Amino acid sequence: MTRISLVRHGQTDWNLAKRIQGSSDIPLNDTGREQAEATGRALAGGSYDAIYASPLSRASETASIIASHTGLDAPLPLPEVAERSYGDAEGLTGAEILARWPEGTPVPGRESRDQVVERALPALLELGERHQGESVIVVSHGGVIGSLVRHVTDHALPGPGEVIPNGSVHEFVYEDGTLTLDRFNLHPEDRDLFTASVL
């Protein structure tokens, strides 16, 4: 069995302005760095063997901050968990997107959730095989985490209106070729986070 903790990166200015980031490389803001510090301090209560991150700077910096608290080496890049591409919608707010592409209208260049799962899930399954009996951290993005959670729970989670906050942790378990969700939407203040990495 392998435990994989998926972490959403800290806040960026585009998160704050509710602009779609997608594959745009937007850096953490000061609040995002504070969130990464808080998540790192919480995860330091567990025991981890490696840390991986999306190559986008908001994720890789979050992972570096977490690594400094957990005693891990520098994060290893995992391109398959980079954020979902939103094509022409990147940089826009939800209202601006709806104005340009009314509900049901395809956004040019936007990756589907199924496409996200098709690239991210095999990478996590491979990590599960590589780290048998270990616990690893993977810093990724809301669109990727949400797509994976929907896939492995058959759309039971996230619930209606439920968001994946910056700095949140989502515990997955890999066993016998299958990835399942163990704990969803843990926050740095959640006591469960201190024991989530125990095999």
Q: How far apart, in whole angstroms, are the C-alpha atoms of residue 149 and residue 152?
A: 5
Residues ≥6 apart with Cβ < 8 Å to 129: 2, 174
155 is catalytic: no
34 is catalytic: no
Q: How far apart, in whole angstroms, are the C-alpha atoms of residue 180 and residue 148?
A: 10
Q: How far apart, in whole angstroms, are the C-alpha atoms of residue 6 and residue 124?
A: 10
Q: Which of 83, 111, 134, 171 is catalytic?
A: 83
Q: Which of 9, 131, 141, 151 is catalytic?
A: 9
Q: How far apart, in whole angstroms, are the C-alpha atoms of residue 81 and residue 51?
A: 13
The catalytic site residues sit at: 9, 83
